[in-house]
Amino acid sequence: MTRRVVSRVSTATASCAKASAREGEPMRRFTVGDTFEWVREVDPYRPVYYAGASGDYNPIHIDQVVGRAAGYEGVILQGMCTFSWLTDACVAYLGDPARLKRLRARFTKPVQVGDVIRFHGRCVAVEGAQVRLEIRATNQAGEEVLKGAVADARAGEASPDHRREAATEPGAPWAAGS
């Protein structure tokens, strides 16, 4: 099964199918061979927004002149922003952030404004309640920006926090104020 999840940075939230269990619904099944894709485009303001959120005001991320002096076309995105997108891709597939237990990757190429980053993921192992994902992250030229990306997760039920969140969705018959 392939799940295509597309998100552009300019949108406030990514759209994706809810894959996790809710009260009365069957639990999400993970199968070796499942694939997923997550796409992010780096808009001109992303390095500035991320600098504000992370406190990483290194001039290479916010000053075009410094970026060009370093040999780039302009500013480059903070590596941890790219890593957070990797996390987003895994969580979109897993359906619940509490399922993600460990994530690792190696940075191999700077991400620049205008780049379109594709995260191609594959479920490579399901052993009991343990799930392992391998993810490739490439730019629009097909160059890897992260290598060796691996996520370890658990396949159990959605977390209690996730169920509480579902119970407060607008329009839910049990939501406060409905």
Domains and CATH numbers, the chain: 2-10+37-162 (3.10.129.10)
Query: For a pLDDT cut of 70, what percent of the chain falls above it?
Result: 72
**CA dist 159 to 22, 39, 51, Å?**
10, 26, 31
Q: Would the pTM of this model clear 0.85, i.e. be above it? A: no
| SS3 state at 102 | strand
Dist CA 114 CA 173 (whole Å) = 43
d(CA 93, CA 20): 9
Tell me how far apart the alpha carbons of residues 55 and 50 are, in angstroms, rounded to a whole number. Answer: 8
115-145 burial code (b ≥16 CB/10 A, e <16): bebbbbbbbeebeeeebbbebbbbbeeeeeb
* One-letter identity of residue 171: G
Instruction: Render pLDDT for 30-85 as a digit per residue (tens, 0 to 9).
Output: 999 999 999 999 999 999 999 999 999 999 999 999 999 999 999 999 999 999 99
